[in-house]
Structure 1
Amino acid sequence: MASPADDAELVRRAREGDRWAEEALYRRHVRRVTDAATRVLGRSDEAEDVVQDTFLKAFTKLDSLRDPSLFPRWLLRIAMNRARGKLRRRKLMRSFGLDHTVDDATLERFASPTTPPDVLLELAGIDAALREVAPDHRIAWMLHEVEGLSLPEAADACNCSLATVKRWIRKAKDCIEAHLGADLQPDDDGDAEAGR
């Protein structure tokens, strides 16, 4: 990962109109933003839109960044705000029966080819549960549990307090546990069902 000093210098130069510095910032951070957006949204096409919108807004609003060394955190916050908007629009479209697309970037698809079938089944269950939670809860859980952000970093990326991000993550975990628990309940014959 790039050092904050390097980012600060590139931000300073980009503010002065140096296109090479903008390109360097883009190349340095595009992978992380893309990965986070793809995992949060579950759709690579929507993630690409979020990435483009994120960098466009970041470079347009670069002068509003108070501490240039915090560029990566600021960029991730912009991306998560954009992703939140996509998730809310998707939920609205689903409520009207207009969203018939399929998530193509699920946790299951990110798994290693050697992942055991029972783990793949669990990942599919987590994906299903995350489709049911509020966008903020999904984003917070993904940032913390999948992207590996600390709780304070996840709170910053979600633009909320530490207590709020903890609550959102807990609600997502509760939904996942309920969903996975429901999938593993005994059926009429007493056998465990898998992956309904």
Structure 2
Amino acid sequence: MSVAVRGAERSLADGEADLVAAARRGDEAAIRELIRRLNPRLFRVARGIVASDAEAEEVVQDTYLAAFTRLDRFEGRARFSTWVTRIAINTARMHLRRARPAEDYDTVTEDRNRRIVAFPGGPPETADCALGRAQVRALLETAIAGLPPELRLPFLLHEVEGMKLREIARALSVNPVTLRTRMFRARRQLRAALAEQVSGGFEAVFPFGGARCARMADRVIAALRAGRRR
């Protein structure tokens, strides 16, 4: 597991119980912090199932509304992040069943500028470096998006989110042996699709932060407020 993935896991776990307790009391700051922490994972989970970024954002928002309006159902037997991840998987699958094939989404028109990575504290990135990084990420995302859904989601959960195989197997209701086979097939297909120089860059794919993260929190909070007023 990479340093970046281990850091993401620790970030999700630190103080999670306190934030959930505050969210139960309707503390909007706690809800926003939970959304900020969970956005990258849930977006990748959704994007591992649905076909476009726009659909994934819709799934993530629906997931938060389902989770935060039913916090009384969270019994604490698993981590909150694991509980919400399962909701995201179910929500994305329901979205997929509802989607009509005639309504194809044009992912070519999506804004690709957000995919350029800037590392805090590092030297200013040249235009050539930024372009190269964006091209590598686009190559990675295209390769991963090209995997069949039954391979794409386990790969994202394990390689990007750092979830253990047994945890993924439980979340997807899949036999662990079947899951290992799918992981092997996913890696084999990606190796065939990716050039050697992009190896190891999976932590950067399907990002969800910055202004997009803040807008998601704003939309969820507004929907929760509207629900309380009814």
Paired residues of 1:133 and 1:175 also in contact (CA < 8 A): yes
- Aligned residue for 2:75? 66
Q: Give matches, 1:41-120, under 5 Å.
A: 41=47, 43-67=52-76, 70-86=79-95, 93=101, 96=102, 98-102=103-107, 104=110, 109=115, 111-112=117-118, 114=129, 117=132
C-alpha distance in structure 2 between counterparts of 1:52 and 1:133, whole Å: 24
Gaps spanning 5+ residues in structure 1: where? 182-196
Paired residues of 1:130 and 1:138 also in contact (CA < 8 A): yes
Deviation at 1:12, TM superposition (A): 5.4
Match of 2:149 among 135, 140, 165: 135
Match of 2:179 among 133, 143, 165: 165
Paired residues of 1:88 and 1:135 also in contact (CA < 8 A): no
In the superposition, relative to structure 1, how do residues 127 and 71 fare at CA in structure 2: closer, same or farther (>3 Å)? same
SS in 2 for 1:19: coil
- TM-score, normalization by structure 2: 0.55
C-alpha distance in structure 2 between counterparts of 1:45 and 1:100, whole Å: 8
- Aligned residue for 1:192? none
Match of 2:42 among 16, 37, 42: 37
In the superposition, relative to structure 1, how do residues 32 and 142 fare at CA in structure 2: closer, same or farther (>3 Å)? farther
Deviation at 1:179, TM superposition (A): 2.4
C-alpha distance in structure 1 between counterparts of 2:159 and 2:41, whole Å: 11
Structure whose CA Rg is larger: 1
- Aligned residue for 1:149? 163
- Aligned residue for 2:210? none
Paired residues of 1:151 and 1:162 also in contact (CA < 8 A): yes
Paired residues of 1:125 and 1:180 also in contact (CA < 8 A): yes
Q: Which amino acid aligns with 1:56?
A: L
- TM-score, normalization by structure 1: 0.63
Paired residues of 2:43 and 2:60 also in contact (CA < 8 A): no
Higher relative contact order (CA 8 A, sep 6+): 2
Aligned residues: 170
% identity of equivalent residues: 34
2:26 pairs with 1:19: yes
C-alpha distance in structure 2 between counterparts of 1:123 and 1:87, whole Å: 25
Gaps spanning 5+ residues in structure 2: where? 1-10, 119-124, 196-230
SS in 2 for 1:148: coil
What's the RMSD between the two structures over aligned residues?
3.6
C-alpha distance in structure 1 between counterparts of 2:149 and 2:167, whole Å: 18
Deviation at 1:32, TM superposition (A): 3.6
In the superposition, relative to structure 1, how do residues 47 and 33 fare at CA in structure 2: closer, same or farther (>3 Å)? farther
Task: Name the stretch that deviates more: 123-132 or 138-147.
Answer: 123-132
Q: Which amino acid aligns with 1:172?
A: A
Match of 1:175 among 159, 182, 189: 189
SS in 2 for 1:67: coil
